[in-house]
Structure 1
């Protein structure tokens, strides 16, 4: 343990493990103290120092000078101390160097175990600090084991879990697979860092587009809103302040190459990409894509919208089990009621008929005039 090669190995460890040599030496010194005490059965106060410049290990035991000795391992009488050096006085610390040859195989093995444990802790801390910067980011990892429905993956030598609710319906995994995951949450626990990853959140698709579309990465195209039902459909609203840039076209790519690459990663999940606009009427109409909307009526106070589509477009606008309308509502933040055009016409006709009925009931018959001609003539005669 005191050879030149040993200290050269420390330099190699610093380069490979990215652990500072000083950290490793500190861990080793602590481990050697524990190993020495365990091997010798002593409770002496000792200090172990590595001296790389001399390729040696220095072990020193300490005793405090006291008037009355109560602990022989940590205390020494003033009389005995002055036998070593007449200058010692009460309260001084007497040091004694111990030969490193007293370390046996058991001590070395104990030291190795403690050192390796410390190294794992340091590596874990380094990996955690590096990974903590990647929360809400996309990372590539390796599937290490499958336990029930949980998938355990390795990220930067740390284990993360992909739970069932974070797996898309069409996801299939095998040990050794390289997969992309979204780092959803990182927290510290009693057994070390706990990393929760996902492939179902909308952020997963958003990060895929940021990687695949240079215009998004450069900030020329913005993802204004994105919602998703994993394995089935994603809706995304994009926008560019540059009128010369087609935001939707940039995301789709030449002949659909960009969006198809993402669809392939998602196992065939459908993706609707629409132009975002500040006009809520237009935005709601676009959000119901691929259906064509005839008209949109809104109640601003309650944030409720009525979207009218042609009858043949009704099932497309609503989607299977209401999925398309549900995603459109989440994308816009408005409650959307989808109505067929025939229903709108029926409501308008009924309203018009009701209005006509009310008009007829309001019109009352004119009062009858008094046509008694005799009385009229009599009044006329008096005037004459």
Structure 2
């Protein structure tokens, strides 16, 4: 594995970093103040659309789609995208500026990989242009949807339409005023084999029968303007041509969607952790309680050293996972994807915790982004499947491979 960045990637990294230094870091605090003001709930900060227009004009746009998607892709591999996503991850809203934010990225991958030309023209192109946003409705409150086969939302054919009934939650971006598209996972055949019961269908958000029940707070925050919501679907009717790939392919689509999504989250977590460490290093050099710089304290130095080791370990594992994803695809790379999904969010949370402690009271207030980084890392430990599920599957696979394929050398 060669993780040396190509000249193309180095050039893109430099351009993204320059863009962030000029346009994103200077307005970070003002953006946070705007979106946390109760008067601005579900209102998109005007500066976001301004930044998106600048990024698009600069050609810093849609980096996430792998080169296999032809006309829809900027021609980057997952390995080449990783350091770019890391840079974007240093500011929690930056990925949206470059049209590389979840859940749109995953939904665009679904449409690019599995959608018909008509579905791509109607929905993928507006998403690629950054004109609309979307949500992915899989998780349900009454079922443990860490196993996606547990979904109970029904998708029943009635002539030239499908009728959808169910209740979903943790539908990210569903409260965003720009959200126009829902990708809904449900069951078209409750009696089929376990992994062919599910289907994924396109549902325009303004379809009759859709009710936004309530927004869900994360660590007591709404995450406006995107939000996460509970959604009720009652006799929602859409044309049969809205089914993606065909009946019984929903679980396959979900796995194809979640693999890259998981690694994208991890790429951004590396950037967030690095930002926390950078802020920590500056802080401990500036502060000298009791007549001695914090940077000279042995315990603080240990925190810095441990943080750097952990970030670099996670970074290399992320690159290894991206490289394997490029070479063998989602299914064959599932072990590396599981490993980094387990490692990166916990690592980021640990580093942010140390950075908060080094900042004292400043570390838990709005004067730095560290508290938000900590909270977001905690959330990512649930996103796209909790760590415990990935650990269980990874352990099962490891045991099977070890016992089945390798000789046991007794002492």
Question: Which TM-score band applies after superposition, normalised by the shorter structure?
Answer: under 0.3
| TM-score, normalised with respect to structure 2 | 0.22
| TM-score, normalised with respect to structure 1 | 0.23
RCO comparison, higher one (Cα < 8 Å, 6+): 2
Q: Which has the larger radius of gyration?
A: 1
Task: Name the one with the larger strand percent.
Answer: 1
